[in-house]
Structure 1
Amino acid sequence: MAPSPAQVLLAKADKKYNSSAGWFTSSSSKFEEAGDLYQQAANSFKLEKLFKESGDAFAKEAECREKQGERNDAANAWWNAAKSYKKGHPDLAIRALSSTVTFLTLLGRFRQAADREKEIAQIYLQESGDLGRACESFERAGDWYSQEDANATANGCFKDAADLHAQLGQFTQAVTRYEQVANHSLSSSLTKYSVKEYWLRAGLCALAARDPVTARRNQDKYAIQDVTFPSTRESKFLALLTDAVDANDEDAYTRAVVEYDQITKLDNWKTNILLRIKQGIQEAEENLT
């Protein structure tokens, strides 16, 4: 069987890459030509829907660009590699994106680095199921977005990180992140409406940590930061839950949850956290008997 156009281009690229520089050609020129051929091969493999081969060829292009000292081009090549690897090879996509981030940070392009780090977080979350690493990447992306004054995008990353901290049982870290996002949101009339949601989540995390004292103290703090908060359904719901947890009253807790859910449907995250809080009440009741 005759080689495909992509295989022909890859063979030419490999030959150029492994060739010796002649009298009239520099090493940099050799790698530039090889890089161009690897790029053509990568795009041709992509047309053939051979995404692993496409990613590998883009990775070889990136190596050539680095040998030329072309960091911008190396970063772009690694990103192209990641986009090909995403089609069925998440681990390789993460490696390629990590290389992209390395070059972008060296170039001081932190906004673009944050975009790629966020992609890494999403792959860990959706493909690998590694919540811990996804959380780390969301936080790193959030920090870089903040540095570039992209505060709305940063808040989105920090909120995602807070959700994951809670799922991992890291409730103190989750509360810190939710409060950070709430504080940023308070400063804008466009985002102030969402603060009650973040404070509710922070309060639920405090209760999941079996710390109703901190939950109550934080509710008092939120009421000072926004005098309208105590009148919201979120605040009243949180107060009822805190009283029930404090009294180890499972019936009162269940009533509060059912009544809230009848008006405002609970999402999966809240449902899971509320079940953990309920389990804490049950365990406390068992210890008393």
Structure 2
Amino acid sequence: MRKREIVLRWHTIGLVRTGSTNYLIHLEAGNAFLEAANLSLSQKSKHDAATHYVNASLVFKKDDPKKSIQCLTKAIEIYTGKHISATSTLWIGPFLSITYTTLYTTKFSRVIFLVLHLEMGRFTIAAKHHMTIAEICEKDLVDIEQAIRHYEQAADYYKGEESSSSAMKCQLAVAQLASQLGQCDKAANLFEEAGKASMENNLLKYGAKGHLFKAAICHFCVDLINGQKALKTYEECYPMFADSRECALMKKLSEALEQENVEAFTTAVQEYDNITRLEPWITSLLLKLKKTISEEEDIT
């Protein structure tokens, strides 16, 4: 049996087995995709191999998150690990490849466009896989530090592909996770960066106040003076934020923190939450801020 037929056989086995809910069947399906990937690599069909690794990852994700990550990592290496030279072979499709020397001497502009389009998309694909790994680390493995690392890598790749909205999505995920690890200074800077960028974009400007609101909370978690300076800057530079309920809440919280008034702090949060439900992680940060007042009262 020819190698390509063997690859297709293993690929088909993987697809058939994927629909099962049985752990052993999932394992068999995942291993089938891995076998297909290895055979594709032996044929120097790297992009086919990457596809098989991704399929294997999808199967293993149900029962073995770590192995799922390993498979996605191999796919990422294929998409990002190629060193381009004049004699490098560029994959175009299942039955067609071309060297860069041929590419730049060919008279077929459509071929050049197709190849460059495919090459530019490689890092976008890699970024998506890094996001998937980050989500597995965050939700399945509860490894927040690794989740942050992969979200950051995804953001870098998206920036390189000039996909600013996708890059911002990753940075916001990093900011939220960083705040949960107590890295509030880092989180504040990322939320602030997102807020400023959104203010300059007509399609995103209505979300800017939310980003600046989160940035302000994180700044206050660093210390009171840091928070007050940031809040003043946001009020002066961003009128849309200055007129928002979020800004009004932060001003009340700033005053309550300065006066060490737990009741005023609690009332302000409750009044806001009755109208606009706060996200659980934001509530957690506000509770930490409230606790600083309680601790100061205990000391006195």
TM range (shorter): 0.7 to 0.9
Pair 1:72-2:54 in alignment? no
Pair 1:138-2:113 in alignment? no
In the TM superposition, what whole-angstrom CA distance separates every residue of 1:146-187 from its partner, at most 9, and x where no partner exists? 221221122111111111111111101111111121122112
Matched residue, 2:58: 83
Shift of the 260–43 alpha-carbon distance from structure 1 to 2, 3 Å rule, reads closer
Pair 1:37-2:15 in alignment? no
For structure 2, list consecutive stretches of 5 or more residues without a partner in the other structure. Answer: 83-118
Q: Is the 8 A contact 1:207 1:245 kept in 2?
A: no
Paired residue type of 1:166:
S
In 2, Cα distance between the equivalents of 1:139 and 1:246? 35
In 1, Cα distance between the equivalents of 2:199 and 2:81? 34
Choose which of 275, 293, 296 in structure 2 pairs with 1:263: 275
Matched residue, 1:12: none
In 2, Cα distance between the equivalents of 1:222 and 1:87? 44
Question: What is the SS of the residue equivalent to 1:228?
Answer: helix
In 2, Cα distance between the equivalents of 1:143 and 1:64? 32
Matched residue, 2:287: 275
Choose which of 235, 239, 242 in structure 2 pairs with 1:227: 239
Output aligned runs, 1:91-240, within 5 Å: 91-107=66-82, 109-209=122-222, 211-240=223-252
Per the TM alignment, residue 202 of structure 1 is displaced from its structure 2 partner at its CA by 1.0
In the TM superposition, what whole-angstrom CA distance separates every residue of 1:205-251 from its partner, at most 9, and x where no partner exists? 12222x11111111222234312322211111111112222232212
In 2, Cα distance between the equivalents of 1:166 and 1:252? 24
In 2, Cα distance between the equivalents of 1:281 and 1:106? 52
Matched residue, 1:249: 261
Per the TM alignment, residue 117 of structure 1 is displaced from its structure 2 partner at its CA by 0.8
Per the TM alignment, residue 42 of structure 1 is displaced from its structure 2 partner at its CA by 2.1
Q: Is the 8 A contact 2:131 2:154 kept in 1?
A: yes
In 2, Cα distance between the equivalents of 1:280 and 1:67? 61
Output aligned runs, 1:14-29, within 5 Å: none
Paired residue type of 1:93:
S
In 2, Cα distance between the equivalents of 1:61 and 1:114? 24
In 2, Cα distance between the equivalents of 1:113 and 1:208? 34
In 2, Cα distance between the equivalents of 1:140 and 1:227? 33
Q: Normalising by the residue count of structure 2, what TM-score does the alignment of the two structures yield?
A: 0.80
Paired residue type of 2:273:
D
Matched residue, 2:89: none
Name the % identity: 29
Aligned residues: 259
